[in-house]
Chains A and B, each alone.
Chain A
Amino acid sequence: MATATQTVRAESFRLAGLRRLFGSQEAVLLGVILLLFVVVGGINPRFLAERNLESILQGNAYVAVAAIGMSMVIVSGNIDISVGSLIGVLATVSGSLAVAGAPIIVSWLMPIGISVLVMLIIGFMVAYLRIPSIVVTLGMLSILKGGLISATGGKWISNLPPGYNLAQNELLGVPLPIYFMVGLTAGAAVWMRYSAAGRAIYAVGGNAEAARLSGISRERTLMMVFAIHGMFVGIAAILFATQLSVIQSTVPPNLELSIITASVVGGVSILGGTGTVIGSTLAAVLIAAIGSSLIFVGISPYWLRAVQGTLILLTVLADLLRRRRRTARR
């Protein structure tokens, strides 16, 4: 490389690098989060109390973790709208196992295995049977949601054994879910960016035909994406199940939409091919922070949905403008 880079070119590299840094979705999100903290903290300083910031992150880490998998699925050119229902089912399975006296580690790991299995089934239908993922996961959503309500009768699971509540633990004064969120995001980001398999996801999502002609199997790549997504969803479900002393058989309504919102607002193009998991995690944090800040400035939390919707539209609009500028310059 050194031979090819003349001073001029090196200069333009650096400029492009700077522009990419400040023009990136990740930088924008970070800026917006900081701005939010400054503004809301100015109105109500209690918002910035350590306990509150911690609880924002702790309570929503599982959304960010699920959004990691979701981002991979969307980058590959697909979508999963069954994820909210699946998290509900997995949480119930986990709690039931624990209450029934299974070893706690089993009640944590078993749901992750089930989740991978379910996603492999979805992946098979999408990759090999070529059914659009929105249709497959819509079907899966109904099956899981219906099955869950029938099986539990809407009852909550309580009397969980001691030691079960993984998400309530702290390490060095920081809640465990935050470690999960940060660690998994960093790991996934590195893997997406630097591994051959991660590159294949971008290639398949960016242009499946060109990827196939380059010798990258669309089918195998998609199976891998859904399996990994299943793992993240499983972990998210455990973080969700173990954060309270009871497990509700109903997950937060429209959880899948919150997760998809995090991905899209995080800069993952709904058309596939671009986006990062760092963006989706930052977006998950932003959305959680907005939800909390509404309370602190005295706005009804019901507005959160509207705020989420606005964020999605703004992001998609910005993406559109960026694309248009890109094509116009050609």
Chain B
Amino acid sequence: MQQGSAGEAAGIASATGGPPVLELTDISKSFPGVQALKGVRFDMRAGEVHALLGENGAGKSTLIKIVSGVHRPDQGSIRIDGQEATFASPLEAQRAGIATIYQELLLFPELTVAENIFMGHAPRRRLGAIDWPLMRAQARALLASLDIHDLDVNQVVGTLSVGNRQRVEIAKALSQNARILIMDEPTAALTERDVERLFAIVRLLRARGVGIVYISHRLEEIFLLADRVTVFRDGEYVATKRVPETDRDDLIQMMVGRRIDALFPKFEAPIGGPVLELREVVRKPTTHGVGFTLRAGEILGLAGLVGSGRSELAHVIFGITPADSGEIRLGGQPVSIRNPAQAKRLGIAYVPEDRGTQGLVRPMPLKENVSLAVLARVAKHAFIDRAAEAALAAASIRKFGIRASGIGQIVNKLSGGNQQKVVLSKWLASGPKVLILDEPTRGIDVGAKAEIHRLMSELAQQGMGILMISSELTEIMGMSDRILVMREGRIVAEFARAAATQEAIAAAMMSSTVPMALAS
């Protein structure tokens, strides 16, 4: 690490005195149907790395969007250097010295490194023309100041590796004189070598007095890099601790907490024979040798972080991205599933994660969405039996308690929970033996959630095998007979219902192998 001793000294000095550069107090924010943040606080001093930790849905993303001016808080105050601030737009937050590097990098792939760094604030000549030589020189100087010497400022960004693109984003943030840098899971897509370089850059920036909000699920990184850590849970502030004064178990404990849920009416169902078996199933680059058995009447919970390969595994089973190798058995018979139509015929149903883009045909009425997967069955001689279709839709409305004005209502007008029930109805109409639910209750209100859980229990009792993907540990714990944990495209742990604890599941989800070389 080539940290200048002067910079080091400055970093230490600025980390000790003065008001926090950023101070959030009592911030609340709700979206339709969800309260994302409930009176949380967060503060940041110059020259510190402050990690923000929490499960998916804990409110981290909402918080950074508030700090970066994307969302406005419903209540609470934001102070910059002790001064009250309100950001009407991301641009205003930027002007206040706040830069955010999102997980999905926001660069223009067709433009060069220099153009990306100075997008929107390129140095000008008289008459307003861009001063190209100056811009390139400044871009070079900026990269050099970050100890990046292997990046050509004239290269087109689209041709760069993820690590290099991220370095361009950091340079871009600094070109706007950012004093607060928010990094959302910066190592999620990086190789080991790039992680090392990122850490070096983060330490360099800290020494220069930049405050860094660091979001990561990799606990090891927090211990390597952060000075303080703040934990959120379910949109609430849990605690802020100095990193040397905490440990791994402590953090996991704070993240998952101890919550008792009466929300999940899980009924006992007789467990039957295997309905779906996977052996060494591979689909590059997301699924690496996955094997498990799902039995009739069983709800199998699939836990894991976003990006661990859970949805991708569902896509393999449902034939959206067919397996490269390995064996899939349905009811004991080996099958080869090449597309969703075939999966459907074999008795698999998949309720996708994203209702809007994958589940519903929005301009269509409810009844037509419900019958979509069973068109062949409700049709007589190529023509749809309207009475049968209407009966199916009416039965679905009754059975699932869908709140709609009628079977002819356009699904776009339904609430999230009711839309999800429509997608469920559609798939249950196909009479599946295996039901894959991908985040079945994300973004829907508590009442609808309980109804969907009750329905899942009933379906299991009727002998269906259910594979449930969820990012909510309480849901996984509450509904599953057995729990699998995925990480990096593999199943890394399995828990029986009785043996599962939130801490153990969370630990399995998050443990990762950070190379020893990184320990500084």
Contact with A along B377-413 (1 / 0, CB 8 A): 0110011101100110011011000000111111011
Question: Which among B341, B368, B391, B394 is the interface contact of A217 at CB below 8 angstroms?
Answer: B341
Whether the pair B358, A330 counts as a contact (CB closer than 8 A) is no
- Contact A216 B406, CB 8 Å, known A1-B394, A210-B358: no
Contact at B383–A326, with CB atoms within 8 Å?
no
Cβ of A302 within 8 Å of any chain B Cβ, yes or no, is: no
Taking CB atoms, residues of chain A closer than 8 Å to B362 are: 206-207, 273
A171 touches B (CB below 8 Å): no
Partner of B394, one of A3, A16, A196: A3
Pick the most buried of B358, B382, B383, B405: most chain A CB atoms within 10 A of its CB: B383
Q: Provide the residues of chain B in CB contact with A16, threshold 8 Å.
A: 405-406, 408-409
Q: B426 at the A/B interface (Cβ < 8 Å)?
A: yes
How far is B373's CA from A200's CA once the two chains are assembled, in angstroms?
10
Q: Are A196 and B361 in contact (CB under 8 A)?
A: no
Interface string of A266-297 (1 = CB under 8 A from B): 00010001100000000000000000000000
Contact B384 A274 (CB under 8 A): no
In A1-22, the 8 Å CB interface with B consists of: 1, 3-5, 9, 12-13, 16-17, 20
Residues of A within 8 A of B390 (CB): 1
A48 at the interface (CB under 8 A from B): no
Tell me the bound Cα distance from A212 to B357 in angstroms.
11
> Given A199-B384, A203-B364, A216–B375 Cβ distance below 8 Å?
yes
The residues of A that contact B379 with a CB separation of less than 8 Å are 195-196
Is B54's CB within 8 Å of the partner chain A?
no
Contact B361 A206 (CB under 8 A): yes
Q: Take A210-B358, A213-B340 as given contacts and tell me if A4 and B352 are in contact as well, using a CB distance cutoff of 8 Å.
A: no
Question: Smallest Cβ distance from A12 to chain B, in angstroms?
Answer: 5
CB distance from B387 to the nearest CB of A (A): 8
The answer to whether residues A12 and B376 also contact, given A4-B398, A213-B352, A329-B413 and a CB cut-off of 8 A, is no
The answer to whether the Cβ of B46 comes within 8 Å of any Cβ in the partner chain is no
In Å, the complex CA distance between A92 and B203 comes to 76
Q: A108–B102 Cα gap in the complex (Å)?
A: 62
Point out the residues of chain A lying under 8 angstroms from B357, CB to CB. 207, 209-210
Of B318, B339, B406, chain A has the most CB atoms within 10 Å of the CB of B406
User: CA–CA, A329 to B415, complex, Å?
Assistant: 10
Among B397, B408, B410, B415, the residue within 8 A (CB) of A4 is B397
* Residue numbers in B under 8 Å from A47 (CB-CB): none
Q: A37 interface residue, CB < 8 Å from B?
A: no
User: Which residue of B340, B360, B364, B371 contacts A212 across the interface (Cβ within 8 Å)?
Assistant: B340
CB-nearest residue of chain A relative to B398? A4
Q: How far is the CA of A3 from the CA of B350 in the complex (A)?
A: 30
A197 at the interface (CB under 8 A from B): yes
Q: How many angstroms from the CA of A203 to the CA of B341 in the assembled complex?
A: 15
Closest-CB distance, A16 to chain B (whole angstroms):
6
Contacts of A206 in B (CB 8 A): 361-364
A182 to chain B, nearest CB (A): 21
Interface residues of A in 199-250 (CB under 8 A from B): 199-200, 202-203, 206-207, 209-217
Do B394 and A200 touch (CB < 8 A)?
no
Given contacts A214-B340, A214-B373, A216-B375, contact A203 B361 (CB under 8 A): yes
Q: In the complex, which residue of chain A has the Cβ closest to the Cβ of B423?
A: A210
Distance of A193 from chain B, by nearest CB (Å):
9
Smallest Cβ distance from A21 to chain B, in angstroms? 12
Inter-chain contact B412/A202, CB cutoff 8 Å:
no
Chain B residues closer than 8 Å to A194, beta-carbon distance: 383-384, 386
Q: Is A150 an interface residue (CB 8 A)?
A: no
A13→B318 CA distance, assembly (Å): 37
Is the pair B361, A211 in contact by a Cβ cutoff of 8 Å?
yes
Tell whether A159 is near chain B: CB-to-CB under 8 Å.
no
Contacts of B412 in A (CB 8 A): 326-327, 330
Q: Is B372 located at the chain interface by the 8 A CB criterion? A: yes
Closest B residue to A275 using CB positions = B363
Q: In the complex, which of the residues A5, A197, A215 contacts B341, with contact meaning CB atoms closer than 8 Å?
A: A215
Given contacts A9-B406, A206-B362, A207-B362, contact A4 B394 (CB under 8 A): yes
Report B95-122 CB contacts with A as 1/0, cut-off 8 Å.
0000000000000000000000000000
**Complex Cα–Cα for A20 and B376 (A):** 28
Within 8 A of A (CB), among B421-476: 426
Known A206-B362, A210-B361: A215·B406 in contact at CB below 8 Å: no
Q: Which single residue of chain A is at the shortest CB-CB distance from B357?
A: A209
With most chain B CB atoms within 10 A of its CB, the pick from A212, A214, A329, A330 is A214
Say whether, besides A12-B405, A16-B406, A216-B341, A210 and B382 are in contact (CB < 8 Å): no
B380 to chain A, nearest CB (A): 10
A209 touches B358 (CB 8 A): yes
Q: How far is the CA of A220 from the CA of B359 in the complex (A)?
A: 20
Contact yes or no, B410 A326, CB < 8 A: yes
A283 to chain B, nearest CB (A): 19
Task: Answer yes or no: B179 CB below 8 A from chain A CBs.
Answer: no
Question: Which chain B residues border A330 with CB–CB below 8 Å?
Answer: 412-413, 415
Of A1, A196, A207, A274, the contact of B360 (CB 8 Å cutoff)? A207
Chain A residues, CB < 8 A from B384: 194-196, 199
The interface residues of chain B lying within 8 Å CB-to-CB of A195 are 379, 382-384
Q: Is B320 an interface residue (CB 8 A)?
A: yes
The answer to whether A196 and B382 touch across the interface, beta carbons within 8 angstroms, is yes
Q: Chain B nearest CB: distance from A213 CB in Å? A: 5
| B383 vs chain A, min Cβ distance (A) | 5
Residues of B contacting A269 with CB < 8 Å?
A: 363
Q: Which of B375, B387, B398 has the most CB atoms of chain A within a 10 A radius of its CB?
A: B375
Say how far A192's CB is from chain B's closest CB, in angstroms: 11
B344 within 8 A of A: yes
State whether A214 touches B413 (Cβ < 8 A): no
User: Given A196-B379, A199-B368, A1–B361 Cβ distance below 8 Å?
Assistant: no
Q: Please measure, in the bound complex, the distance between the C-alpha atom of A141 and the C-alpha atom of B350, giving whole angstroms.
A: 42
Residues of B within 8 A of A13 (CB): 405-406, 408
- Distance between Cα atoms of A20 and B408 in the complex (Å): 10
Contact for A273 among B339, B363, B383, CB less than 8 A: B363
Cα A304 to Cα B395 in complex, Å, equals 51
Closest to A209 in B: B358
Q: Contacts of B391 on A, CB cut-off 8 Å?
A: 1
- Please, which residue of chain B has its CB at the minimum distance from the CB of A269? B363
Residues of B within 8 A of A209 (CB): 357-358
Q: How far is the CB of A288 from chain B (nearest CB, A)?
A: 29
Complex: how many Å from CA A5 to CA B391? 11
CA distance A16 to B365 in the complex (A): 12
Residues of B within 8 A of A210 (CB): 357-361, 372
Name the residue on A nearest B416 (C-beta). Answer: A330
B375 and A207 form a contact (CB under 8 A): no
Q: Which A residues from 297 to 313 make CB contacts under 8 A with B? A: none
A255 CB, nearest partner CB in chain B, Å: 29
Q: Which residues of A contact B398 (CB under 8 A)?
A: 3-4
B residues 13-47 with Cβ under 8 Å of A? Answer: none
Distance in angstroms from B408 CB to nearest chain A CB is 6
Mind listing 14 A-B residue pairs with CB under 8 Å? A5-B394, A9-B405, A13-B408, A196-B383, A197-B382, A199-B384, A200-B375, A202-B364, A202-B368, A203-B364, A210-B359, A213-B352, A215-B373, A216-B372
User: A209-B358, A213-B340, A273-B362 known; 16 other A-B pairs, CB under 8 Å?
Assistant: A1-B391, A3-B398, A4-B397, A16-B406, A17-B408, A196-B375, A203-B361, A207-B357, A207-B360, A207-B361, A211-B361, A213-B358, A215-B373, A216-B375, A273-B364, A326-B412
Report the 5 A-B pairs with minimum CB-CB distance, sorted nearest first.
A206-B361, A215-B341, A196-B379, A4-B394, A215-B344
- Chain A residues at the B interface, C-beta cutoff of 8 Å: 1, 3-5, 9, 12-13, 16-17, 20, 194-197, 199-200, 202-203, 206-207, 209-217, 269, 273-274, 326-327, 329-330
